[in-house]
């Protein structure tokens, strides 16, 4: 497996799994407008994942396609960041995660503009416009609920406390990150942290939420080490192709 | 190989009649997603830039383009997807904007090109497309399709849609 392919899977799987989690809100949103909003964000994420997986399949050159990559890999082959596979929690926890992840994605897409992989740069250019919208939506709700009632503030703070440790993984450099940086495919992920923090910190401040300090905890979803939650998510998402291999609409 | 009887102008005329499946008052040309048309032998090549990566209409649009061109006499229709430069609402034609407004959808406004984006969702201030009233309130930054947001007029109390600027 090439580092190029593996790197594309990290981006694609993070978008795909977040999109799958957000789609669980379909029909369950607190109000109709937010049900639509979360499923719209889900749709954008899944669209980004489709473009990235199709490109990954081309790079791999083994004749696989986006569907085979999405539906026929087990959890150990998934390379998404751990934070996106965690269960949604309540609406507040969902928007806190969206803010953390979407703000990271915004930095990633921007950083790929000069990638030596021109197809990836094009996907990033397209995705950046959508992600910008997702960030503003999540930021708006984070402020509204964080600086809201005692109940909403307490829930938002506990969601942030629970999710924050998983953001360390966004910026931890491993051998694969070094290899893609050396190839000019993407800058080192650690270089994105300051700009990401400059996006999210003012939002949490306005939301009257306290940003936790860094702990030694490191999740490792991007290396294929996942929580027990991902297998359950994939069982639902992959059911049709597993039960009826090769089935088509 | 027989020469195709269609010219690029003919192809564009056909595409002018292919509606967007979700907003049928606008054609694929009006939406600005047709980026290039070329006659190649007895076939036609159409380059399309998708609006949103996850837009479910993308595949229906490709099928409608193919169907319309084949009906018009094109032998082989090749549809190519081009992602860069990314689609922007600036590409929606003035005529299509007028059709959107007449249909009750507020057309997109000016896009910010300086790269700076507000972190808070600052809703666009628009007038109601039905009664022309103000103020109007954004109910949701997202709407029934990927490209629209949902608003309500505080004068006539009717909900309406606004094209998102991207």
Domains of chain A: 3-210+220-243 (1.20.1260.10)
Instruction: Check whether residue B137 and residue B75 sit in a common domain.
Output: no
Residue of A nearest to B150 (CA): A33
The domain that holds B76 is classified in CATH as 3.30.300.130
Residue bearing tokens 């297998």: A231
Tell which of B65, B81, B97 closes a domain: B81
Nearest to B146 by CA among A140, A37, A106, A123: A37
Same domain, B50 and B109: no
Give the domain range for residue B131.
105-163
Same domain for B71 and B21, yes or no, is yes
| B109, B77: one domain | no
pLDDT of residue B112: 54
For residue range B71-122, list pLDDT tens digits in order. Answer: 998 888 999 999 889 898 989 999 999 999 999 999 888 655 555 554 455 5
Residue B95 lies inside a defined structural domain of this protein: no
Which is it for strands B159-163 and B105-106: parallel, antiparallel or unpaired? Answer: parallel
Contact call for A50 and B53, based on CB within 8 A: yes
Closest-CA residue of chain A to B50: A126
Give A121→chain B minimum CA distance, Å: 8
- Cβ of B116 under 8 Å from any chain A Cβ? no
How close does chain A come to B7, measured CA to CA in Å?
A: 30
Written as six digits, the tokens of A4 are: 């190029």
Out of A33, A47, A139, closest to residue B53 by CB: A47
Cβ <8 Å between A133 and B150: no
The mean predicted confidence, pLDDT, of chain A is 96
Inter-chain contact B139–A33, Cβ cutoff 8 Å? yes
Number of domains within chain B? 2
Q: What is the mean pLDDT of residues A160-165?
A: 98
Residue B89 lies inside a defined structural domain of this protein? no
Residues B123, B69 share a domain? no
Q: Which of A181, A182, A166, A184 is nearest to A222 (CA)?
A: A166
CA distance A12 to A9: 5
pLDDT band at B5 (very low <50, low <70, confident <90, very high): confident
Number of Cβ within a 10 Å radius of residue A126: 25
**Smallest Cα distance from B2 to chain A, Å:** 34
Q: Which is nearest to A4 in space by CA: A102, A117, A90? A: A117
In a domain, B125, yes or no: yes
User: How many Å apart are CA B124 and CA B150, to the nearest integer?
Assistant: 11
Task: Using alpha carbons, list the distances in angstroms from residue B77 to A15, A82, B37, B65.
Answer: 32, 43, 11, 9
CB pairs < 8 Å spanning A and B: 89
Q: Are residues B70 and B18 in the same domain?
A: yes
Same-domain check for residues B71 and B112 = no
Report if residue B52 sits inside a domain: yes
pLDDT, averaged across chain B: 86
* H and E: helices and strands count for chain B: 3, 7
- Put simply, the chain B residues between 130 and 149 with a CB less than 8 A from any chain A CB are 139-144, 146
The pTM of the full predicted model, rounded to 2 decimals, is: 0.90
Q: In what order do the strands lie in the sheet with B43-48?
A: B34-40, B43-48, B76-81
So what's the pLDDT on residue B1? Answer: 45
> Is the residue at B92 inside a domain?
no
């Amino acid at each position: 497996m090439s580092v190029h392919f593996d790197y594309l899977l990290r981006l694609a799987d993070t978008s795909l799994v977040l999109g799958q989690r957000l789609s669980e809100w379909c029909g369950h949103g607190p109000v109709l407008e937010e049900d639509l909003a979360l499923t719209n964000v889900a749709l954008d994420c899944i669209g980004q994942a489709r473009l990235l997986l199709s490109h990954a399949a081309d790079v791999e050159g083994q004749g696989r396609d986006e569907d085979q990559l999405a539906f026929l890999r087990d959890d150990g082959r998934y390379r998404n960041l751990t934070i996106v596979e965690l269960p949604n929690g309540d609406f507040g926890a969902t928007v806190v995660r969206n803010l953390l992840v979407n703000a990271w994605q915004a930095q990633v897409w921007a950083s790929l503009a000069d990638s030596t992989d021109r197809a990836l740069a094009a996907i990033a250019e397209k995705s950046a416009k959508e992600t910008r919208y997702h960030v503003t939506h999540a930021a708006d709700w984070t402020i509204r609920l964080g600086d809201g009632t005692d109940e909403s503030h307490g829930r938002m703070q506990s969601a942030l406390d629970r999710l924050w440790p998983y953001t360390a993984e966004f910026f931890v450099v491993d051998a694969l990150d070094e290899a893609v940086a050396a190839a000019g495919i993407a800058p080192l992920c650690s270089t994105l942290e300051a700009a990401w923090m400059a996006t999210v910190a003012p939002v949490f401040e306005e939301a009257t939420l306290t940003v936790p300090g860094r702990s030694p905890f490191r999740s490792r979803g991007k290396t294929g080490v996942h929580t027990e939650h991902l297998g359950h998510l994939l069982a639902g998402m992959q059911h049709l192709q597993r039960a009826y291999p090769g089935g088509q609409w | 190989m027989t020469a195709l009887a269609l010219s690029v102008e003919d192809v564009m005329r056909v595409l002018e009649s292919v509606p967007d499946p979700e907003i049928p008052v606008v054609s694929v040309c009006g939406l600005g997603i047709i980026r290039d048309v070329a006659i190649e032998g007895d076939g036609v090549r159409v380059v399309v830039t998708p609006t949103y990566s996850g837009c479910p209409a993308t595949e229906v649009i490709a099928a409608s383009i193919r169907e319309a061109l084949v009906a018009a006499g094109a032998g082989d229709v090749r549809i190519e997807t081009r992602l860069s430069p990314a689609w922007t609402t600036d590409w929606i034609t003035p005529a299509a904007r007028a059709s959107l407004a007449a249909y009750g959808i507020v057309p997109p406004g000016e896009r910010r090109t300086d790269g700076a984006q507000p972190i808070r969702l600052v809703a666009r201030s628009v007038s109601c497309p039905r009664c022309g009233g103000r103020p109007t309130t954004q109910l949701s930054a997202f709407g029934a399709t990927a490209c629209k947001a949902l608003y309500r007029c505080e004068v006539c109390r009717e909900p309406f849609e606004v094209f998102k600027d991207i």
